[in-house]
Amino acid sequence: MFKVGTLSWLTLTVVFSFFLLIFLYLSSKKIYIPQIREHPGVGAIIEALGRATEMGRPVSFSPGTSDLYSTKYAGDTAAALTILGYTAREAVKKGSKFIVGIAPPTVLPVAEEIVRTAYLMEGKPEEYIEEETVQFFSPNQWGFATSYIGMMHREQVAANFLFGGHAAEAMVIAESGATVGAMQVAGSTNVYQLPFFLVACDYTLIGEDEFAAAAYLSPDPVQKGTIFGQDIAKLICALLIVLGALLSTAGIDVISKLLSK
Amino acid sequence: MADILMVLISTTLILMIYTILYRENPAFRFGEHLLVGATVGHAIVYGVFQVRDLAWRKLQTGILTGDLVGIAYIIPIILGVLIYFQFSSKYRYISRVSIALMLAVGLSLSIRGLMSVNVIGQIKGAVNPITNIEGLVYMIGVICVLLYFVYEKRASDIVGPLPKIGRYLLMLTMGAYFANSIMGRLSIVIGTLNELLVAPAWYLIPVALLIVVADAMIRRKSV
Amino acid sequence: MSSVWRNVTSAILFLVSLIILVEYVWVDATLQRLTTDFNNWAVVIGAFTLGLGGYSIIVRHWRMIVKRRTLWPYSVVLLVTLFTFIATGLITGSVTSPQYNWIYSAIVMPISSTLYGMNAFFIASASYRAFRARSWEAAVLLVAAIFLMLKNAPIGGVISPILPSIGTIIWDIAGATGMRAILIGIGIGTLALGLRVIIGQEKTPLGGAD
Amino acid sequence: MSWKELLSRNYKQVIYLCLFVSLAIPLMRPIGLPVPVDKTTQDVYDRIQALQPGDVAVLGSNIGAAIYAEVYPQYIAILEHLLRKPDVKILLVDHGTEGPIFTQKALKEVNAFTRKTYGEDFVHLGFIAGGEAAVAGLSRDIKALLDVDYEGNNLEDLPMMDDVNGANDFTIVIDFTASADSQFWLNQAYAPYGTEVAFGLTAVKVPDAYAYYTAGQIFGIIESLKGAAQYEVLIGRPGIAVKGMDAQSLAHLLYIGLIFLGNVLFFTQRGRRG
């Protein structure tokens, strides 16, 4: 029989799982693909690329220093690679030189594949230079930071993008980007890096923004379905909070009683 | 005698790592590779002791006493060995079964915990009678930040400016992380300086400074 | 053969998760026994994975030495230290034996604490060169951060007691609004990712989709 | 090359030197600024002060070299306070491979082995791998998970362990960490068994935990070196943490100054160019 005190857990988990799975199914079968709003972060990427083209200076991109399979930042790196694909195509379309700096060995082949296809899709495959456009610096945090900064200064980049899982080295990279005068757009779910990105870069995607931007940009409908499923769960939580607060102000704390059942 | 040697070694290593503040160089790289070797070695030693205490011993007592639960520990030991097939691209799929069991336990335990503590716990924490201004600000505030993380197009259009307020409230939270990150990192440096600024350790500081200045001079002449 | 194994893997992933999730709400002796066993087995496999990282690092650095790649001498340093720690640990039989403790305090403690504290210096130079109130958002963040810093450091209260009190107000608002929503977001996000992995739709954590 | 040019080209090294000096001076000549006590620290002190004989206090630790400076002083102060409480049982468990090294170091530093008898008043279980599964196993049934304690003695031979077998027997749990195991204790001890949990954290982890504190899910937080200094004052044993707080204050002023200066320069330059 039921364990005491787990009824509210069961109800909420079942309700949330229902919405998450339904919209996952509907979107994967293309029955209903939710519309994701255009994220201001995407607008900032386009603005930065436009600025780079005007000034005729290159664009640099780092998809993070964490592995593709690291359980903590696997989601981050995957979202970063989706945004890499989009940024690469936009950069090639606008004709500015595009440079990608890589640290984790497992991300290298995936990133090369994404950027090579981007050049192909924009009809300029000859502009993609092997080992040049996508450069593997070093798997080690500080080795990567030093080489990435060296590249930014050498190339005098006008736009710099930092997405995916970054650690303390991001601080040094963002500062060098500012000294070079590049417009910087960053994204991360690591709440210990976010405050520094927010004040050092021109625009920063906070936590789940990164996944939403990736879902907006990616052709894969399932990403949009997952985002929408989570939206509904958050709206339910918001509703419970508003209802609970108003009712308890009126002295009826049915919501918190229900939640403790 | 041994601890004088330890102080000299640890102080030299501290100063070698601090040279990154001047530039990336061989001394820093040496210290870094030393650390990676030591920490990975430590993890392997620990892995061996854990397997012995958590499984091997239980298996032996299980076999001796015929207790089924003990004997069943042969299963995680086999799965533990299979995980090393990750390194052969041909047979990598074999290691997936061990990862599957760990993932299943890890994910379901965190779903059990987070749904109760993070979701239900925090909703109950947010549901308070609105008796004063703070109560109102907190209630509206948490709704705005929640709505900031809602991305569906129509939902975002309906809620209008609320997510924008949510983003500004998030700036306060990020300010808290900013201030606490600084206090945290400073505490670590203070811990290191507590060991560096005592005799005989700090005698090495001028030595390190001399080497750095000499290196800077030589590099400026060659440029 | 490998496709049979793949079905076994997804079956284990699904069934074990289902058992542990149902056990949370349903009282049943066998369910409880199974959950405890799966739980303790996962702990054992966790112990085996401690060696995984070691194996790949040893292979990679050994290859660097053999092929005389640039920086190969540093790989020698790494491997020598690695095997010294393994030998000391296994010979003395515990990680708090005097000898192990000695090499640990002489090497690991100084280097890692210096490396982890290094960010304080980088934040200092970035404070001067990169932390700008470029937008209203960044301005709000910087002002809030400064008040909270004056709450964290005792000097704030010494300058004037108003500073820490403003800091506390900001801290409470930040805690009750932003933090709460982020925690709820993490809870829902974990459920979403967990479900997709358990039903086999999301393959990356299993090590790629091949 | 004039001094001005040298300074502006190497501005980073100049700032690093200023930070080093602003930390070094107070460490060598402490100023002695007052250390006000936060409510989150006072709550932990009051809860331990209210412990009755026979209560069981569990200290979880994921202290490693990286968080040693911020969390180890807290661990020592709380261990000292617990040892002063007559007949309170202490169960020590580690959540990281480096944990046992610092737990043993702390036990020796407060000379626990002489003040109390091992096995009756306190037991050290050592490190258990497996993350959340380890904490869940400990809370459900210690003897099903472990046969031996850290030194290898059988759990059956330790008298204290006869009546301590799971979260239902834990009076309070304090976890000293900067990683996810604080969440594990909430998920696997507080949620299912209602065990009273508190945290000793690095500063950067405190904002996450504060929402749990205001929701009443944890009874207190020791916040980094600052919390350790306050606890040292509360138990009347000012030590390394109190000295560190003077250095924190001076360095904080330097950061605020640098941010202010940087922005003034930024806006004046932008004014000229804009």
Please tell me the distance from the alpha carbon of residue D94 to that of residue D75, in angstroms, as a whole number: 12
CB D180 within 8 A of CB D161: no
pLDDT reading at D94 higher than 50: yes
Task: Identify the residue among C41, C52, C201 best suited for mutation to test binding to B, counting B beta carbons within 10 A and taking the highest.
Answer: C41
Closest Cα in chain C to A230: C188
Give pLDDT tens digits along chain C (210 positions): 678 888 899 999 999 999 999 999 998 999 988 998 898 888 888 888 878 778 878 888 899 899 988 889 999 999 999 999 999 999 998 877 889 988 988 999 899 889 888 889 999 999 998 898 988 999 999 999 999 999 999 888 888 889 989 999 999 999 888 989 998 998 998 899 889 888 888 776 666 543
Q: Which chains contact A through at least 3 pairs of Cβ atoms less than 8 Å apart?
A: B, C, D
Question: How many CB pairs below 8 Å do chains A and B form together?
Answer: 118
Beta-carbon contacts of C11 under 8 Å, excluding residues fewer than 6 positions away, are: none
Task: Test B45 with C95 for CB contact under 8 angstroms.
Answer: yes
Please tell me the distance from the alpha carbon of residue B1 to that of residue B7, in angstroms, as a whole number: 10
Please tell me the distance from the alpha carbon of residue B116 to that of residue A10, in angstroms, as a whole number: 10
Within an 8 Å CB–CB cutoff, is residue C12 touching chain A? no
- At C41-92, the pLDDT tens digits run 888 888 888 787 788 788 888 998 999 888 899 999 999 999 999 999 999 9
Q: Maximum distance among all alpha carbons in chain D?
A: 79
Domain boundaries, chain B: 82-127
Structure tokens at C201: 């739709």
Beta-carbon contacts of D13 under 8 Å, excluding residues fewer than 6 positions away, are: B21, B22
Please tell me the distance from the alpha carbon of residue C203 to that of residue C193, in angstroms, as a whole number: 11
Beta-carbon contacts of A213 under 8 Å, excluding residues fewer than 6 positions away, are: A39, A41, A42, A79, A83, A187, A205
- In this structure, of A45-49, A240-244, C196-200, the range with the lowest mean pLDDT score is C196-200
Q: What ipTM did this prediction achieve? A: 0.86
Chain B environment of D206 (Cβ under 8 Å): 180
Q: Half-sphere exposure of C82 toward its Cβ, with a 13 Å CA cutoff? A: 23
Question: How big is chain A by its Cα radius of gyration, in Å?
Answer: 22
So what's the pLDDT on residue A192?
81
Closest CA to D136 of C176, C37, B223: C37
Check residue A133 and report its DSSP letter. T
Chain D environment of C180 (Cβ under 8 Å): 211, 215
Please tell me the distance from the alpha carbon of residue D138 to that of residue D129, in angstroms, as a whole number: 12
- The minimal CB distance from A235 to the residues B111, B150, B171 is found for B150
Beta-carbon contacts of C74 under 8 Å, excluding residues fewer than 6 positions away, are: B29, B30, B33
- At B153-204, the pLDDT tens digits run 888 888 888 999 999 999 999 999 999 999 999 999 999 998 888 888 888 8
- At D196-243, the pLDDT tens digits run 999 999 998 898 888 888 888 899 999 999 999 999 999 998 888 888
Tell me if residue D118 falls in helix, strand or coil: strand
Closest CA to A228 of A79, A47, A63, A26: A26
- The minimal CB distance from B151 to the residues A12, A231, A237 is found for A231
A139: cis peptide before it, omega within 30°? no
Per DSSP bridges, beta strands D221-223 and A59-62 are unpaired
Min Cα–Cα distance to chain D from A244, Å: 15
Q: Please state, rounded to an integer, the average pLDDT across all residues of chain A.
A: 87
Torsion of CA D79, D85, D91, D94, to 10 degrees: -10
Task: Test B45 with C178 for CB contact under 8 angstroms.
Answer: no
Please tell me the distance from the alpha carbon of residue A166 to that of residue A248, in angstroms, as a whole number: 43
Name A61's bridge partners. Answer: A100, A161
The amino acid at residue A205 is: L
Interface of C with B in 71-90 (CB under 8 A): 71, 74-75, 77-86, 89-90
How many percent of chain A have pLDDT more than 70? 97
Task: Test B182 with D98 for CB contact under 8 angstroms.
Answer: no
Within an 8 Å CB–CB cutoff, is residue C117 touching chain B? yes
- Which stretches of D33-157 are assigned E, i.e. beta strand? 56-61, 89-94, 122-127
Please tell me the distance from the alpha carbon of residue C128 to that of residue D6, in angstroms, as a whole number: 17
Structure tokens at A109: 């082949």
- At B33-64, the pLDDT tens digits run 998 899 889 888 988 988 888 888 889 988 99
Helices C2-23 and C29-66 sit at what angle, rounded to 10 degrees?
130
Top-ranked range on mean pLDDT: pick from A228-237, B22-31, B79-88, D33-42: A228-237
Interface of D with C in 114-173 (CB under 8 A): 128-131, 133-134, 136-137, 140-141, 144-145
Task: Test B87 with C59 for CB contact under 8 angstroms.
Answer: yes
CB B127 within 8 A of CB A241: yes
Closest Cα in chain D to C33: D144
Q: Please state, rounded to an integer, the average pLDDT across all residues of chain D.
A: 89
Tell me if residue B216 falls in helix, strand or coil: helix
- DSSP letters for chain C: -HHHHHHHHHHHHHHHHHHHHHHTTB--HHHHHHHHHHHHHHHHHHHHHHHHHHHHHHHHHHHHHHTT-TTHHHHHHHHHHHHHHHHHHHHHSSTTSHHHHHHIIIIIHHHHHHHHHHHHHHHHHHHHHT----SHHHHHHHHHHHHHHHHHSHHHHHH-THHHHHHHHHHHHHIIIIIHHHHHHHHHHHHHHHHHHHTTS--GGGT---
Please tell me the distance from the alpha carbon of residue C20 to that of residue C10, in angstroms, as a whole number: 16
CB D115 within 8 A of CB D86: no
Task: Identify the residue among D97, D139, D195 best suited for mutation to test binding to B, counting B beta carbons within 10 A and taking the highest.
Answer: D97
Please tell me the distance from the alpha carbon of residue C80 to that of residue D129, in angstroms, as a whole number: 26
- The minimal CB distance from D19 to the residues C39, C120, C176 is found for C120
pLDDT reading at D129 higher than 80: no
Which phi-psi region, left, alpha or beta, contains residue D236 (left: φ > 0; alpha: ψ -120 to 50)?
A: left
Predicted TM-score (pTM) of this structure: 0.87
Tell me if residue D2 falls in helix, strand or coil: coil
Interface of B with C in 55-74 (CB under 8 A): 55, 69, 72-73
Q: Please state, rounded to an integer, the average pLDDT across all residues of chain B.
A: 88
pLDDT reading at D274 higher than 50: no
Closest CA to D172 of D198, D192, D193, D191: D198
Beta-carbon contacts of C88 under 8 Å, excluding residues fewer than 6 positions away, are: C97, C99, C100, C103
Chain B environment of A225 (Cβ under 8 Å): none
Average pLDDT rounded to a whole number, residues B86-114: 86
Please tell me the distance from the alpha carbon of residue A28 to that of residue A32, in angstroms, as a whole number: 9
Please tell me the distance from the alpha carbon of residue C152 to that of residue D125, in angstroms, as a whole number: 35
Task: Identify the residue among C20, C86, C88, C96 best suited for mutation to test binding to D, counting D beta carbons within 10 A and taking the highest.
Answer: C96
Min Cα–Cα distance to chain A from B111, Å: 9
So what's the pLDDT on residue C209?
40
Containing D250, the helix (H) or strand (E) segment is helix D240-273
Min Cα–Cα distance to chain C from B69, Å: 8
- The minimal CB distance from B127 to the residues A71, A215, A256 is found for A256
B124 alpha carbon, distance to own chain's centre: 29
Within an 8 Å CB–CB cutoff, is residue C57 touching chain B? yes
Chain A environment of C122 (Cβ under 8 Å): 168, 171-172, 175
